[in-house]
């Protein structure tokens, strides 16, 4: 008996939901930085990201470019990737993308902020055994309402949060963040 490989079905559903989420975000926001990433992943990882993308279109959840009026940007140290990253993460059941971004910002840094728009929109493409699925990575720009940092990450992935005037060399998505910063504040 031959089992049917359902990766094509998962990838199709993920692509359809991602397309809807992408067009919804593009219709609501303007003036954001767009980028694309390509990932070759093993079958189990492909299945995981395609399933999440099929649910809401955002396999990596939602993230935040939290900034102070001085232009300083909040980054968190993610031990799993050993880099400074933008705060963010998975979307809980019933949450909007914005709600997830703000919740994750609070958990990973203790910062409260007001979303002012979409700063970056990523298209993340996943490839495995001839299959392709993709999802969006929404990154909201938000003005910080509080500046005192208190990391309380329930996933224990974030070891530190800090305000930066100059981005560290080991910042994930550094080029895109600098492009956003240049558009938002008129310089790097």
pLDDT tens string 99-109: 999 999 999 99
User: pLDDT-derived band of residue 3, with 50, 70 and 90 as boundaries?
Assistant: very low
Question: Does position 188 have pLDDT exceeding 60, yes or no?
Answer: no
CA separation for the pair 157, 76 (Å, rounded): 10
Q: Is the pTM above the cut of 0.85?
A: yes
Provide the mean pLDDT of the chain. 92
| Cβ atoms within 10 Å, residue 137 | 22
Q: Name all domains of the chain by residue range, CATH numbers in brackets.
A: 7-185 (3.90.79.10)
In order, the DSSP letters of the chain are -PPPP-HHHHHHHHHHHHHHHHHHHHHH--S-EEEEEEEE--HHHHHHHHHHHHHHS-TT-EEEEEE-TT--EEEEEETTTTEEE-SEEPPPTT--HHHHHHHHHHHHH---EEEEEEEEEEEEEEEETTEEEEEEEEEEEEEES--------TTS-EEEEEEESS--TTBTTHHHHHHHHHHHHS--
Are 67 and 141 in contact by the 8 Å Cβ rule? The answer is yes
Lowest-confidence region among 3-12, 109-118, 132-141: 3-12
Mean pLDDT on 68-88: 94
Mean pLDDT on 53-58: 94
The closest alpha carbon to 137, from 92, 84, 88, belongs to 88
pLDDT tens string 124-178: 999 999 999 999 999 999 999 988 898 887 778 899 999 999 999 999 999 999 9
């Amino acid at each position: 008996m031959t089992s049917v490989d359902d990766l094509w079905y998962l990838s199709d559903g993920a692509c359809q939901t991602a397309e809807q989420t992408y067009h919804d975000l593009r219709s609501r926001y303007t003036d954001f930085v767009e980028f694309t990433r390509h990932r070759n992943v093993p079958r189990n990882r492909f299945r995981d990201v395609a399933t999440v993308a099929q649910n809401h279109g955002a396999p990596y959840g939602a993230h935040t470019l939290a900034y102070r009026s001085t232009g300083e940007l909040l980054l968190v140290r993610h031990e799993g990737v050993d880099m400074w990253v933008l705060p963010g993460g998975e979307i809980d059941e019933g949450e909007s993308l914005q709600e997830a971004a703000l919740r994750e910002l609070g958990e990973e840094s203790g910062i409260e902020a007001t979303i002012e728009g979409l700063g970056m929109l990523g298209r993340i493409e996943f490839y495995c055994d001839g299959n392709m699925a993709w999802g969006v990575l929404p990154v909201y720009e938000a003005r910080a309402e509080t500046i005192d940092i208190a990391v309380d990450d329930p996933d224990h992935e974030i070891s530190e949060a800090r305000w930066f005037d100059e981005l560290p060399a080991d910042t994930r998505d550094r080029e895109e963040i600098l492009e956003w910063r240049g558009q938002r504040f008129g310089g790097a």
